[in-house]
Amino acid sequence: MHDYGAPIGWRLALRTPGRVTAIVSQNGNGYSEGFVSSFWEGLFAYAAMPGPDTEPAVRAALTEDGVRWQYLHGAADPTLVSPDTWLHDLALLNRPGNDEIQLKLFRDYPSNVDLYPKVQEYFRASQVPLLAVWGAGDGIFGPDGARAFRRDLREAEVHLLPAGHFALETHLDAVTGYVRGFLGRVLE
């Protein structure tokens, strides 16, 4: 799971914990640690009090500069990231009405954080195998989010790469190698 996919994955795991045999998280938080304040302060302020004073900060994430930043920030070699990635995302974000959907998701994001204690309880009880492959330079979910898994999952495997939020864009082979090795060991 990654980013918005993490809260979805946590909800699925909590609903049917016995069906989850392993978890792979690529920059998908399950702890408050790792939230990079320069990104999240504006979003949490908007979620707490949506309005004309707080909305511009979150709308900035939906602009071309904001989307490009998500792909390039923290990448050791930004030339490896194809402009097609953020331009495609931007085209999808610019569909009529999608901005309002994104704003609604931003307003609801604290409900994901509220779920974290149950997720952590699930980790402690299940000791589900978990691999966290993280872009160490992510300006959204920093590396402390990856390290935090070790607090509740004794055998959590954590790898930090010289990448940003979208580590697959610059480190596909490394991520693939970690995932294959991890799944090969835990799903014997």
Q: Enumerate the active-site residues.
A: 165
Interhelix angle 110-126/37-48, rounded to 10 degrees, is 120
Q: Tokens representing 26?
A: 């690529």
Interhelix angle 110-126/98-108, rounded to 10 degrees, is 50
What would you measure as the largest C-alpha separation in the chain, in angstroms?
A: 54
H/E element, 159: strand 157-161
DSSP, collapsed to helix, strand or coil, labels residue 35 as strand
Strands laid side by side in the 130-135 sheet: 23-25, 130-135, 157-161
